[in-house]
Amino acid sequence: MIYGERIRFRHIEREDLPSFAQWINDPEVREGIGPYLPMSMPNQEKWFEEMLNRPLDEQWFALEVREGEGWQMIGNCGFFGADHRVRSMEVGIMIGDKGKWGQGYGTETMLLLNKVGFDTLNLHRIFLRVNENNPGAVRCYEKAGYVHELRQRQAALADGEYIDLLYMGILRDEWLRDKISQSN
- Please name each of the domains of the chain with its CATH number: 2-183 (3.40.630.30)
pLDDT of res. 1: 85
pLDDT in tens, 59-92: 999 999 998 889 999 999 999 999 999 999 999 9
Prediction pTM value: 0.93
Report yes or no: 141 and 110 within 8 Å, Cβ to Cβ: yes
Strand partners of residue 66: 71
Residues 119, 128, 130: CA angle, nearest 5 degrees: 150
pLDDT in tens, 16-48: 999 999 999 998 888 877 777 788 999 999 999
pLDDT in tens, 89-105: 999 999 999 999 999 99
Q: Measure the CA–CA gap between 112 and 5, rounded to whole angstroms.
A: 9
Q: Measure the CA–CA gap between 101 and 119, rounded to whole angstroms.
A: 27
Residues 6 or more apart in contact with residue 12 via CB below 8 angstroms: 48, 51, 59, 60, 61, 62, 76
Q: Measure the CA–CA gap between 112 and 170, rounded to whole angstroms.
A: 13
Q: Measure the CA–CA gap between 139 and 8, rounded to whole angstroms.
A: 22
